[in-house]
Amino acid sequence: MSLTSFIKNKEVRKLFANEFKKPRGKIIGEIKAPPLTNHFGMVGTAFDYLVRFYLKYHNPKAKEQTWIAEISCKSTEVNPSVHKKAVKNLKFAKGAYSKFLKNGVLNEDILKSAILLAQLDPIYRAGYVDENMGIVDKDDIQDLKNLISLVNIEDFKVDSYCLLNPTFNEGSMLVRGADADVVIDNQMIDIKTTKKLEISREMFNQIIGYYVLGKIGGIGKEQIDISNINEIGFYFSRYGIKYMYNVEEIINFDSLPIFIDEFKDKANELF
């Protein structure tokens, strides 16, 4: 299980609904990079990698976690044929990433690398091997190119620190897996490569769930205090729109400790 599956539990959903009221209102915007294939989930994961590459280039001091793709590759050692292919793809991606950090050129190799890494992720996250592992669709490369062209680096401007794909230490272990996309200074940002420009209740619970896990275990290896975060929200990559909530407007800090205790109890029960 993981935070994503944990918050789908009926009782957990009720727990969140009773504690956190989702603000009303619509986000207005026009889709600028519609999907070019039906590889929706894989492209979303690939863009997560790509945008982190992009932010690392612009912020060399940004802290990175071990790629999930690397953990996946390690776990394939029991299957020699899959492992051989995984190692080859990981090696290609690492080489392209190293070059990108030096020249900042978003060429086909770095775009392809993001896709190859995304194809490895399900081995660890979901326990299955992508049947298309190693096969890269040219339309997916173009899709990533379109998506990264929409990123306004000012939306991800760093003053103090930038954490890429951080976990929440004790908090992540509690739900057997949880990692945020990007934490920059006082903001926690989740990347959403979706066709719809809307925040579902599940998405709302997820970003609050990250905040709660940060409260439990701190953010990243640096164990940054979650109280430093005063904005949480989303970057809608197909629209080029960043939408943030003020933490004080959606979280009751007086009742939060009680919620966290109930959250922990439910996690221990389910696991």
Phi (first) and psi of residue 117, to 5 degrees: -70, -40
pLDDT computed for residue 121 by the predictor: 96
Q: Does some domain include residue 251?
A: yes
Q: Average pLDDT over the chain, rounded to whole?
A: 96
pLDDT at 271: 82
- Residue 35 forms part of a structural domain: no
Band of pLDDT at residue 198, cut at 50, 70 and 90: very high
Chain segment 57-108, per-residue pLDDT in tens: 999 999 999 999 999 999 999 999 999 999 999 999 999 999 999 999 999 9
As a whole number, mean pLDDT of residues 47-52 equals 98
Same domain flag for 168 and 71: no
Question: Residue 165 falls within a domain, yes or no?
Answer: yes
101 occurs within a structural domain? yes
**Whole-number pLDDT of residue 1:** 58
Same structural domain, 247 and 178 = yes
What is the per-residue pLDDT across 132-176, written as a single tens digit (0 to 9) for each?
999 999 999 999 999 999 999 999 999 999 999 999 999 999 999
Distance between CA atoms of residues 128 and 125, nearest Å: 8
Q: What is the CA radius of gyration of the chain?
A: 18
State residue 234 phi and psi, 5-degree precision.
-135, 150
Considering the domain architecture, whether residues 239 and 105 belong to the same structural domain is answered as no
Whether 164 and 138 share a structural domain: no
Q: Is residue 189 part of a domain?
A: yes
Residues 131 and 162 in one domain: no
**Given pLDDT bands bounded at 50, 70 and 90, which one contains residue 55?**
very high
Domain end, chosen from 149, 165, 185, is at 149
Say yes or no to pLDDT of 270 above 80: yes
In a domain, 166, yes or no: yes
Percentage of residues of the chain with pLDDT beyond 90: 95
Mean pLDDT, to the nearest integer, of 225-234?
A: 96
Q: Which residues of 23-58 are buried (b: 16+ CB within 10 A; e: fewer)?
A: eeeeeeeeeebebbeebeebbbbbbbbbbbbbbbbe
- What is the domain range of residue 183? 3-30+155-270
Residue 10 confidence (pLDDT) above 80: yes
Evaluate if residue 234 carries a pLDDT over 70: yes
Residue 136 and residue 66 share a domain:
yes
Domain count for the chain:
2
